[in-house]
Structure formats: structure tokens, C-alpha cells
Chains A and B, each alone.
Chain A
């Protein structure tokens, strides 16, 4: 066990790959009737929201910029990819690229105007953009099919390689792990330090040659790229897109993910996503009486946020670390007695 822990420290990617491998076993567990088949969808959705939340963590956690427009951009990418594959019959590879590029281009335009303002004003500006998108999804029926929603198919690669549920699920695992590793590299590079410096002290960042507008735009664009990736995967995994999904509630849930899971923690983001998007279905709905209260999950999330901010400001991921420390301490103590 100790060896494994040391190895994880020596090879920083190990924990992401391990997480990926564990998640990849879920479809086979379902196959052998160990888990219910709904778990594949549930965990798949958790992974999708992990990707979005990693984007927001990059923006809020590392760069110190607030956005409430996450849901709008995610929906935009979902609709573009749905329209391109279903109506235009474009290949999935092309769709993937275009559906990331268009939202990123829009976010850069929005960013150029709104990134001159900061804090709450930026939050309001991004929220407004998101609401414009949501209204657009409902009104532009010839593209979005309006409130009746739009159905999508599982992705097809190279024009003939059709994915099924399990394959699409595994595709999500690969996407999430690769993105985790890319972000890990990014935040430990000079770019990551520049983002950190921007949050820590704008004056120092400028004095050290960091162009604030450039790096704000970069953080904004990267966050949108991740949000869009998640939106595309969502559309092709759930196979259905409807306009009411992409509201402020979703943006706030994604904000809750990083606050509960861990600000500036990659694994913590996954933990938060699990808590916010899987726990309601897995645990809360099973509780007798309380489980029947509509929006019970929101109440629990609210309480969780308060508890986490009070006792674990760095997020639930700290609970694991503290637990690990406690175990190590216990281990040392018992060993000290025998020697």
C-alpha cells in the first residue's frame, strides 16, 4: 500500500489513469449483474460534468474569474453537434472540432468585451449571455426543435464505426482522463503559474510580464473549450437535447461541484461532481419520506456547501487527505509501540 502511494507521488498521472480504469470496469459489472444498468448512465453523466467543472475550476479556482454562463455554452455546443450530426449528416470528428471552435470563438468575443470588468459584474455578464443562448434554443425551432427537444445518436467514428452505450461510456472515460492529464500539465507549467499569479496579485502578475487581458481570455477560452467538449459528449451520450436543461440552476450546480469537491483540485472536481450529480439519485432518493420531497437534492447541496466552506474550505478532497494522514499517524503509533 505504501509502495503504491509512493508510486502515485512519483508518477503524477497514475491517479488519473487509476480512476479511469476503475470507472471503465463499471459496464462489465453491470453485465455481470453486480450493478444496475442505470449506473452506466449515471456515472457517464458524472464524468461529463467533471469535464465541465474542470473548465470552471480553471476559470474560478486557478484564474480567479467568475462565470455563471457555463450552462449556456454547454447547451450551445450540444445543439451545434446535434444539428451537425443529425441534420447535416456530418462525421462526428468534424462535428467535435466545429462544435468546440464556435463556442470558443463566441466566448472570446464575449470575453473581449466583458473581461474588462471583474468579480460579480463578470458573473452577471456571463449569466446574461447564457440566458440569451437558452432563449435562442427555445425559439430557433428549425434548428433546435424547440421545446419538444432534439434526439441525437451515439457517435460514429470514421463514418462506419458505430459506438453503442458501453463504447460511448468508455469514450467518456478516455476523454475525462486525457483532459485531467492535460490540465495537470497545464497548471504545473508557466501558463498555470501565470493564471495563479493573476488570481494571487494582479499587480505582481503585470510586473512580471503577464498580460492580464491575454491570460484572462486564455482562461475563458479554455474553460469554454472544456464546457463545449462536455456539451457534445452529453448530446451524444444522453441522445437527447432540450432547451430547459441549460438554465442558471445547472450553472450553479457546476459551481457547487468545485466548491464541494475542491477548488484547484482535479480529483476533487470529480469527487464534487459525484456528490452533486450522483448522490441525489443513488442515495437521497432511497431515503424514505425525505426522498419524496421535490428538489430535496438542492437542500442537501446547500447544507453541504455551508458545511464544506465552514470546515473544509479547500473542498471535500481534503477529507481524504486528512483521513490518510490520520491512518499514517495511527500506523506510526502502533509501530512505535512494537519497537
Chain B
């Protein structure tokens, strides 16, 4: 991986000139931004601005047409994410949640969280089938770790309940717990407040901050709920029609003319 240019000190993710188009539509157009270590970074923009597409490019669900995405992996090596398959991304220390919760309904909450530890298992197929002592030990220690995370998020008492039929707020927490299992460097949250009520959203802001402090990871957040974004983010990047619009602290973004135009329209539009 020596051919990838190392990231500057303190930077964990660097996106340069990222572009992807579907047919004639440029969903993301020449987008660049950087995320620092332990930073809570917000990506905002009106509907259809290309936020989720940018996300999917970073996590390699889509392969971008142009640009580079450099990431400081768990082993402190700078890697080019575009060179990795989608299932390899989590191993580098980058993990995501989904806009519409993606959990396995039939499994218990604990089992769902343990899916997040998949890459940590060293037991092979045979070991799993005959349940060797090593496999048992490994399972137990990861189970304990999962319980700790559930405790941290305050849903340990529900660990054995099936996921199907749980309220949305709980499901969001289970997804969050699943991302924490792999000891990530950067967590990407896709609209974590969507479908939550006001109280739950307030709680979420605290949870995100605690995760950053306790797990020493950066958080990239795509969100529509402006109160949450303004409340929790250190830096915000605004995009519109796939293009970079502005970047700065929440205050700077609030006062930025371009952002106001993108969200509210120009004065001529409003008349």
C-alpha cells in the first residue's frame, strides 16, 4: 500500500475530487473534504443533494467514477478505499449504519450486535460446527463485549428479545451497537435521527458525543434534522446538486449565504 500518499497528521479521511454519475445525472460532482481524528463531521444538503450517494461511495457500495478516498486504517496505514471491496471496508476500521434500519428481524438483539463482530471471529467452519473449546471461548468473550456495548447504550435488559417488533428508537440503537463491535476509527451514520421523536433525538446527540469520547473514533453524520446537526457537529460540510457548497463550524454554516440560498431559495424565488 506504499503507493498511496500518506495522510497529513490528524486527518483520518480525505476525499478528493469525488465524482459519480448515473446516466447523465452527476449525483456527486468533484466533491472534496477532510475529516480529522475524533471529529464529529456533519454532511448536510437539501433532498437529492447527493449525501447518501457520497456515503455509498465512501463505503464502496458504489464505485466512484473519479477521485480518491484515502483513509487512515486501524493499522495506521493510509489506504485508498477505492481499491477495496465493500466487505473489506469494515476491517479497515470504517463502519456504517443505514437510513432505513437494516437488521435481521428473526435474531435477538444480542445476535444482531454480534453480526458486527463477524470479522473478529477466528474460528473456522469446522470449529463452529463441533464447537471446539477455542470457539466457545471466543464466542463468550465477544458476547460479553456485546453486552457491555448494549449496557452502554442502555438496552442490555432487552438483549435476548427478537429484533422484529421493537420500536424504531431501539432498532436505531441496536444498529449503533453493531457498529461499535468492530472498534471502529470512523463511524458513518446515515440519518440517525430519521423516525425518532424529539426526546429520542436529544438523547441521540448525547449518545453520539459519548461514543466519540469513549471509543475515540470520528463520526461522519448525514442528517436532515438541523437541530441535531447544529448541536452535535464540530464541522459541517454543505453540498447541493452533488457539489461542494460550504464548510465550517455550525455557526459559520448558519450564516453562509450559499447555504441559505440552497435551503430557502433566493429572494426572487420566494416572490
Contacts and interface: CB of A to CB of B under 8 A. Distances in A.
A34 interface: no
A303 interface: no
Nearest to A61: B106
Given A190-B114, A203-B61, A207-B90, A196 B104 contact: yes
Contacts of A186: 125, 128-129
Interface in B113-139: 114-119, 121, 123, 125, 128-131, 135, 139
A310 to B, nearest CB: 20
B98 A209 contact: no
Of A182, A197, A201, A207, which is in contact with the most chain B CB atoms at under 10 Å from its CB?
A207
Interface string A218-232: 100000000000000
B59 interface: yes
Nearest to B107: A196
Contacts of B135: 189
Interface in A216-274: 218, 264
Interface residues of A, dominant DSSP? helix
Of A182, A204, A206, A211, which is in contact with the most chain B CB atoms at under 10 Å from its CB?
A204
Contacts of B119: 208-209
B123 A190 contact: yes
Contacts of A207: 59, 61, 86-87, 89-90, 95-96, 98, 102
A205 B125 CA distance: 18
A179 B103 CA distance: 29
Nearest to A182: B129
Nearest to A189: B128
B80 interface: no
Contacts of A212: 87
Given A185-B128, A208-B178, A193 B107 contact: yes
A200 interface: yes
Contacts of B107: 193, 196, 200
A204 B118 CA distance: 12
For chain B, give the interface size range: 35 or more
A210 interface: yes
Interface in B92-111: 95-96, 98, 102-107, 111
A317 interface: no
Nearest to A198: B104
B70 to A, nearest CB: 20
Contacts of A196: 104, 106-107, 111, 115
A23 interface: no
Contact of B128 (A190, A197, A203, A264): A190
Contacts of B121: 190
B142 to A, nearest CB: 8
A203 B100 CA distance: 11
Interface in A177-199: 182-183, 185-186, 189-194, 196-197, 199
A225 B100 CA distance: 37
Contacts of A208: 90, 95, 115-116, 118-119, 178
A192 B111 CA distance: 10
A278 B20 CA distance: 59
A210 B123 CA distance: 15
B103 A201 contact: yes
B27 to A, nearest CB: 18
Contacts of B91: 209
Interface in A257-312: 264
Nearest to A218: B125
Contacts of A209: 87-91, 118-119, 182
B129 A193 contact: no
Nearest to A213: B87
B59 to A, nearest CB: 7
B115 A194 contact: yes
Contacts of A197: 104, 115, 118
B102 A204 contact: yes
Contacts of B114: 190, 193
A194 B128 CA distance: 12
A218 B87 CA distance: 16
B172 to A, nearest CB: 14
A194 B91 CA distance: 15
A226 to B, nearest CB: 12
A201 B104 contact: yes
Nearest to A194: B118
Given A209-B90, A210-B118, A218-B125, A203 B131 contact: no
Nearest to A185: B131
Interface string B155-199: 000000000000000000000001000100000000000000000
User: Top 4 nearest A-B pairs by Cβ distance?
Assistant: A200-B104, A189-B128, A204-B102, A201-B102
12 contacts: A185-B129, A186-B129, A189-B123, A191-B128, A193-B107, A200-B103, A201-B103, A206-B87, A208-B90, A208-B118, A209-B91, A209-B119
Given A185-B130, A197-B118, 10 more contacts: A186-B129, A189-B139, A191-B125, A194-B118, A200-B103, A205-B115, A207-B95, A208-B118, A209-B89, A211-B87
